[in-house]
Structure formats: structure tokens, C-alpha cells
Amino acid sequence: MSAQFKSFEVRQTDLQTIVVVGDIDASSVVRAREEGEMLLRSVGQVCTVDLTGLGPANSVVMSMLLCWIRLASALSVELCIINETRRFSELCRVNGLDRILFGPRG
């Protein structure tokens, strides 16, 4: 993989929404985390992270989202993560992170 090639995109679609698209793995997670953190600093008091376009997610994505949650808390931003895949949701549940990442859901 070329250093110039990005297989993911983290972008802000409006004042309250960050969208994650593509594949994030161990080689790209730091860059994705940093891009998301930069965007979190410019959102309003509430931010939704939409994972609709995220490729196969794994523990590095969990780690990235936990970093974003920590930063959002420090910035007093209410962060909501939506549209995760069932597989990723189950992976988070098995690791005991589902309520931290996605909050209580009925």
C-alpha cells in the first residue's frame, strides 16, 4: 500500500455529524483517529458519528472510537455512535464495550 493511498475517509457532513467511510486497520487507525479528533474540536455540543460506510470493523476501530469518546467528554460534547454493523456491535458486546460505545439501547 502506498503512503499516499487512503482506504478510508473521516469527514464532517454538517455541524453535528461525522461520517466514517471505508476500511480502517492497524496501519491507518492513528491517522483516522487524528482526523476524527480534529473534526470533534469543531462540532457543536452534540455530535453523531455515523458508521454506515465503515468497512469491516475490529478492535482498532473500537480503540479509535474510545479515544473519540474520551476527547468528546473532555470537550463537553455529547457523542452518539450510530449505524454500526451487527458484527461490530457483537464484537463490542463480547468485549464489554457496547454500552460505552453505543449507550443503553432497548
Question: Residue-wise pLDDT tens for the chain (106 aa)?
Answer: 445 557 999 999 999 999 999 999 999 999 999 999 999 999 999 999 999 999 998 999 999 999 999 999 999 999 999 999 999 999 999 999 999 999 876 4
Collapse the DSSP code of 74 into the 3-class scheme (helix H, G, I; strand E, B; otherwise coil) and give the result: helix
CA distance 27 to 102: 25
Could you tell me the residue ranges of all domains in the chain? 8-97
Instruction: Identify the CATH number of the domain defined by range 8-97.
Output: 3.30.750.24
> Which pLDDT score is estimated for 104?
76
* pLDDT (0 to 100) of residue 1: 45
pLDDT at residue 106, as a whole number: 46
Cell numbers for 36, please give them: 476524527
pTM of the predicted model as reported, rounded to 2 decimal places: 0.90
pLDDT value at position 12? 96
Q: For residue 37, which amino acid is it?
A: E
Check residue 28 and give its pLDDT: 95
